[in-house]
Protein backbone atom coordinates (compact mmCIF):
# COMPACT_ATOMS: atom_id res chain seq x y z
CA UNK A 1 0.00 0.00 0.00
CA UNK A 2 2.78 2.41 0.95
CA UNK A 3 4.73 1.78 -2.26
CA UNK A 4 1.66 2.28 -4.46
CA UNK A 5 0.78 5.57 -2.73
CA UNK A 6 4.29 6.89 -3.37
CA UNK A 7 4.14 5.87 -7.04
CA UNK A 8 0.68 7.37 -7.59
CA UNK A 9 1.65 10.82 -6.37
CA UNK A 10 4.75 10.73 -8.59
CA UNK A 11 2.52 10.58 -11.67
CA UNK A 12 2.19 13.67 -13.89
CA UNK A 13 -0.71 15.92 -12.89
CA UNK A 14 -2.71 15.10 -16.03
CA UNK A 15 -2.60 11.37 -15.26
CA UNK A 16 -3.78 11.98 -11.69
CA UNK A 17 -6.58 14.24 -12.93
CA UNK A 18 -8.01 11.29 -14.85
CA UNK A 19 -9.40 10.24 -11.46
CA UNK A 20 -10.63 13.70 -10.46
CA UNK A 21 -13.66 14.29 -8.28
CA UNK A 22 -16.99 14.48 -10.04
CA UNK A 23 -19.15 17.61 -9.54
CA UNK A 24 -20.75 17.76 -6.07
CA UNK A 25 -18.68 14.82 -4.85
CA UNK A 26 -15.76 14.45 -2.47
CA UNK A 27 -14.72 11.11 -3.95
CA UNK A 28 -11.74 11.06 -6.31
CA UNK A 29 -8.60 13.14 -6.77
CA UNK A 30 -8.88 16.73 -5.52
CA UNK A 31 -9.19 18.99 -2.49
CA UNK A 32 -11.85 18.30 0.13
CA UNK A 33 -14.29 20.84 1.59
CA UNK A 34 -13.87 23.56 -1.03
CA UNK A 35 -16.85 25.75 -0.12
CA UNK A 36 -15.86 29.06 -1.71
CA UNK A 37 -13.59 30.48 -4.43
CA UNK A 38 -11.61 32.65 -2.02
CA UNK A 39 -10.88 30.22 0.82
CA UNK A 40 -7.31 29.30 1.73
CA UNK A 41 -6.73 25.71 0.61
CA UNK A 42 -4.75 23.12 2.52
CA UNK A 43 -1.18 22.45 1.29
CA UNK A 44 -1.90 18.90 0.18
CA UNK A 45 -2.66 16.60 -2.71
CA UNK A 46 -5.65 14.38 -1.87
CA UNK A 47 -7.34 11.22 -3.12
CA UNK A 48 -10.60 10.19 -1.42
CA UNK A 49 -12.23 6.82 -2.15
CA UNK A 50 -15.12 4.77 -0.75
CA UNK A 51 -13.83 1.27 -0.02
CA UNK A 52 -16.70 -0.38 1.90
CA UNK A 53 -19.34 -1.67 1.45
CA UNK A 54 -18.07 -3.33 -1.69
CA UNK A 55 -21.10 -2.34 -3.78
CA UNK A 56 -20.38 1.35 -3.04
CA UNK A 57 -16.97 1.29 -4.70
CA UNK A 58 -16.59 3.42 -7.82
CA UNK A 59 -13.67 1.60 -9.40
CA UNK A 60 -13.48 4.18 -12.20
CA UNK A 61 -12.05 6.60 -9.61
CA UNK A 62 -9.50 4.09 -8.30
CA UNK A 63 -6.13 4.79 -9.94
CA UNK A 64 -5.12 2.29 -12.60
CA UNK A 65 -1.48 3.27 -12.15
CA UNK A 66 0.56 1.84 -10.59
CA UNK A 67 -0.86 -1.48 -11.82
CA UNK A 68 -1.08 -2.98 -8.33
CA UNK A 69 -2.90 -0.01 -6.76
CA UNK A 70 -6.44 -1.39 -6.90
CA UNK A 71 -5.50 -4.81 -5.56
CA UNK A 72 -3.37 -3.28 -2.82
CA UNK A 73 -6.15 -0.98 -1.64
CA UNK A 74 -8.76 -3.75 -1.77
CA UNK A 75 -6.61 -6.07 0.37
CA UNK A 76 -5.63 -3.25 2.74
CA UNK A 77 -9.29 -2.30 3.18
CA UNK A 78 -10.20 -5.86 4.21
CA UNK A 79 -7.35 -6.06 6.73
CA UNK A 80 -8.45 -2.78 8.31
CA UNK A 81 -12.01 -4.08 8.63
CA UNK A 82 -10.64 -6.75 10.94
CA UNK A 83 -8.57 -4.28 12.99
CA UNK A 84 -11.47 -1.83 13.32
CA UNK A 85 -13.85 -4.63 14.33
CA UNK A 86 -11.53 -5.69 17.16
CA UNK A 87 -11.11 -2.12 18.44
CA UNK A 88 -14.85 -1.43 18.34
CA UNK A 89 -15.53 -4.60 20.33
CA UNK A 90 -12.97 -3.62 22.97
CA UNK A 91 -14.42 -0.09 23.23
CA UNK A 92 -17.94 -1.48 23.65
CA UNK A 93 -16.79 -3.68 26.53
CA UNK A 94 -14.95 -0.74 28.09
CA UNK A 95 -18.17 1.29 27.98
CA UNK A 96 -20.14 -1.53 29.56
CA UNK A 97 -22.16 -1.91 26.38
CA UNK A 98 -22.97 -5.24 24.79
CA UNK A 99 -20.58 -5.68 21.83
CA UNK A 100 -23.56 -6.37 19.56
CA UNK A 101 -24.74 -2.79 20.21
CA UNK A 102 -21.69 -1.46 18.39
CA UNK A 103 -21.61 -4.25 15.83
CA UNK A 104 -25.20 -3.41 14.84
CA UNK A 105 -24.49 0.32 14.47
CA UNK A 106 -21.26 -0.33 12.57
CA UNK A 107 -22.62 -3.31 10.65
CA UNK A 108 -20.50 -4.02 7.55
CA UNK A 109 -18.30 -1.13 8.71
CA UNK A 110 -18.80 1.51 6.01
CA UNK A 111 -15.27 2.67 5.21
CA UNK A 112 -13.61 5.37 3.16
CA UNK A 113 -9.98 6.32 2.73
CA UNK A 114 -8.39 9.74 2.48
CA UNK A 115 -4.95 9.48 0.96
CA UNK A 116 -2.96 12.65 1.57
CA UNK A 117 0.35 13.76 0.10
CA UNK A 118 2.01 16.79 1.69
CA UNK A 119 4.82 18.25 -0.45
CA UNK A 120 7.53 20.31 1.27
CA UNK A 121 7.02 24.06 1.36
CA UNK A 122 9.72 26.75 1.69
CA UNK A 123 7.24 28.80 3.74
CA UNK A 124 5.97 25.91 5.82
CA UNK A 125 5.09 28.11 8.78
CA UNK A 126 2.48 29.95 6.68
CA UNK A 127 0.41 26.94 5.54
CA UNK A 128 -1.28 23.84 6.93
CA UNK A 129 -1.41 20.48 5.23
CA UNK A 130 -4.72 19.74 6.87
CA UNK A 131 -6.71 22.30 8.83
CA UNK A 132 -7.75 21.63 12.41
CA UNK A 133 -10.83 19.37 12.59
CA UNK A 134 -12.42 16.28 14.08
CA UNK A 135 -13.53 13.34 11.91
CA UNK A 136 -17.26 13.00 11.34
CA UNK A 137 -17.03 9.21 11.58
CA UNK A 138 -16.57 6.60 14.31
CA UNK A 139 -12.99 5.37 14.17
CA UNK A 140 -10.01 6.42 12.04
CA UNK A 141 -6.98 4.22 11.39
CA UNK A 142 -4.03 6.19 10.02
CA UNK A 143 -1.11 4.69 8.13
CA UNK A 144 2.08 6.78 7.97
CA UNK A 145 3.63 6.12 4.57
CA UNK A 146 6.99 7.50 5.72
CA UNK A 147 8.55 8.53 9.03
CA UNK A 148 8.21 12.29 8.56
CA UNK A 149 6.27 13.91 11.42
CA UNK A 150 3.31 16.14 10.69
CA UNK A 151 0.24 14.93 12.56
CA UNK A 152 -0.58 17.01 15.62
CA UNK A 153 -3.34 16.55 18.22
CA UNK A 154 -4.83 19.22 20.44
CA UNK A 155 -5.19 18.81 24.17
CA UNK A 156 -5.68 21.50 26.79
CA UNK A 157 -5.33 24.23 24.18
CA UNK A 158 -1.88 23.02 23.08
CA UNK A 159 -0.72 21.10 20.01
CA UNK A 160 1.33 17.93 20.43
CA UNK A 161 3.14 15.99 17.67
CA UNK A 162 2.35 12.33 17.04
CA UNK A 163 5.49 10.40 16.20
CA UNK A 164 5.01 7.61 13.65
CA UNK A 165 5.86 4.18 15.06
CA UNK A 166 7.31 1.66 12.58
CA UNK A 167 4.79 -1.07 11.81
CA UNK A 168 1.97 0.65 13.72
CA UNK A 169 -1.29 2.37 12.84
CA UNK A 170 -2.47 5.50 14.65
CA UNK A 171 -6.06 5.06 15.85
CA UNK A 172 -8.32 7.90 16.91
CA UNK A 173 -11.92 8.56 17.78
CA UNK A 174 -14.38 10.49 15.62
CA UNK A 175 -17.53 12.48 16.42
CA UNK A 176 -19.87 9.49 16.10
CA UNK A 177 -18.28 7.53 18.95
CA UNK A 178 -18.08 10.63 21.15
CA UNK A 179 -21.83 11.05 20.76
CA UNK A 180 -22.66 7.33 21.15
CA UNK A 181 -20.52 7.15 24.31
CA UNK A 182 -22.16 10.33 25.70
CA UNK A 183 -18.75 11.97 25.87
CA UNK A 184 -16.86 9.14 27.60
CA UNK A 185 -14.67 8.93 24.50
CA UNK A 186 -13.66 12.28 23.03
CA UNK A 187 -13.42 13.01 19.32
CA UNK A 188 -9.83 13.92 18.50
CA UNK A 189 -9.07 17.40 17.20
CA UNK A 190 -6.08 17.12 14.89
CA UNK A 191 -4.25 18.84 12.06
CA UNK A 192 -1.29 18.27 9.75
CA UNK A 193 1.65 20.64 9.50
CA UNK A 194 4.10 20.90 6.62
CA UNK A 195 7.81 20.11 6.55
CA UNK A 196 10.26 22.62 5.14
CA UNK A 197 12.31 20.08 3.15
CA UNK A 198 10.66 16.65 3.25
CA UNK A 199 7.41 15.34 1.80
CA UNK A 200 4.97 13.23 3.78
CA UNK A 201 2.09 10.91 2.93
CA UNK A 202 -0.64 9.20 4.94
CA UNK A 203 -3.65 6.95 4.41
CA UNK A 204 -6.56 7.67 6.76
CA UNK A 205 -9.24 4.96 6.78
CA UNK A 206 -12.48 6.27 8.29
CA UNK A 207 -15.02 3.79 9.65
CA UNK A 208 -18.59 4.98 10.05
CA UNK A 209 -22.03 3.66 11.04
CA UNK A 210 -24.74 2.19 8.85
CA UNK A 211 -26.55 4.79 6.75
CA UNK A 212 -29.86 4.13 8.54
CA UNK A 213 -28.37 4.54 12.02
CA UNK A 214 -29.65 6.98 14.62
CA UNK A 215 -26.72 8.88 16.14
CA UNK A 216 -27.26 9.67 19.81
CA UNK A 217 -26.09 8.58 23.27
CA UNK A 218 -26.64 4.84 23.75
CA UNK A 219 -29.47 3.96 26.13
CA UNK A 220 -27.24 1.67 28.20
CA UNK A 221 -24.84 4.54 28.87
CA UNK A 222 -27.36 7.21 29.83
CA UNK A 223 -29.27 5.10 32.35
CA UNK A 224 -29.52 7.24 35.48
CA UNK A 225 -27.97 10.31 33.81
CA UNK A 226 -28.86 12.85 31.17
CA UNK A 227 -27.80 12.57 27.54
CA UNK A 228 -25.25 15.25 26.65
CA UNK A 229 -25.87 15.25 22.88
CA UNK A 230 -28.88 15.52 20.58
CA UNK A 231 -29.96 12.45 18.62
CA UNK A 232 -30.43 12.55 14.86
CA UNK A 233 -30.30 10.30 11.85
CA UNK A 234 -26.87 9.64 10.39
CA UNK A 235 -28.06 11.30 7.17
CA UNK A 236 -28.89 14.52 9.05
CA UNK A 237 -25.55 14.38 10.83
CA UNK A 238 -23.60 14.09 7.57
CA UNK A 239 -25.56 16.94 5.97
CA UNK A 240 -24.55 19.11 8.91
CA UNK A 241 -20.93 17.92 8.75
CA UNK A 242 -20.53 18.69 5.06
CA UNK A 243 -22.43 21.99 5.11
CA UNK A 244 -19.30 23.93 6.12
CA UNK A 245 -15.57 23.37 6.17
CA UNK A 246 -14.79 21.48 9.41
CA UNK A 247 -13.11 23.66 12.01
CA UNK A 248 -11.78 22.33 15.31
CA UNK A 249 -14.44 20.74 17.51
CA UNK A 250 -17.12 23.19 16.41
CA UNK A 251 -19.54 20.63 14.97
CA UNK A 252 -19.59 18.10 17.80
CA UNK A 253 -19.82 20.88 20.39
CA UNK A 254 -22.78 22.38 18.52
CA UNK A 255 -24.65 19.10 19.08
CA UNK A 256 -24.24 19.20 22.86
CA UNK A 257 -27.34 19.78 24.98
Average pLDDT value for the chain: 90
Q: Over range 220-248, report the average pLDDT.
A: 86
Q: Write the pLDDT tens digit of every residue in 152-203.
A: 999 988 999 999 998 899 999 999 999 999 999 999 999 999 988 999 999 9
The neighbour count for residue 9, using CB atoms within 10 Å, is: 19
For residue 70, give the nearest of 83, 58, 59 by alpha carbon: 59
**pLDDT of 188:** 93
Q: Which fold has domain 1-255?
A: Jelly Rolls (2.60.120)
**pLDDT of 93:** 92
Q: Over range 204-209, report the average pLDDT.
A: 95
Report cis status (omega within 30 of 0) of the bond before 53.
yes
Is residue 200 within 8 A of residue 148, CB to CB? The reply is yes
Q: Write the pLDDT tens digit of every residue in 86-142.
A: 999 999 999 999 888 888 888 777 899 999 999 998 888 888 888 899 999 999 999
Q: What are residue 104's phi and psi, to 5 degrees?
A: -70, -45
For residue 86, give the DSSP letter. Answer: H
Q: For 152-233, where are the alpha helices, taking DSSP H only?
A: 175-180
Is residue 215 within 8 A of residue 179, CB to CB? The reply is yes
Please give the Cα distance from 80 to 249 (Å, whole number).
26
pTM: 0.91
The neighbour count for residue 96, using CB atoms within 10 Å, is: 11
Please give the Cα distance from 173 to 191 (Å, whole number).
14
**pLDDT of 32:** 65
How far CA 236 is from CA of 74, 224, 242, 253, 255, in Å, comes to: 29, 27, 10, 16, 12
**pLDDT of 50:** 95
Residues in the chain: 257
Amino acid sequence: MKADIVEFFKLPLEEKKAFAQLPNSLEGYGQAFVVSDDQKLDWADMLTLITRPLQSRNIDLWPAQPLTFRDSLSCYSMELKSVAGTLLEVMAKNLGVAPEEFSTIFQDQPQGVKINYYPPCPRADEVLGLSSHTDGTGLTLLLHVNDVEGLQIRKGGNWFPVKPLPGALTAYIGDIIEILSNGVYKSLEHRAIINLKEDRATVAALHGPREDSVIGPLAEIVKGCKPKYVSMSYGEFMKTYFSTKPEGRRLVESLML
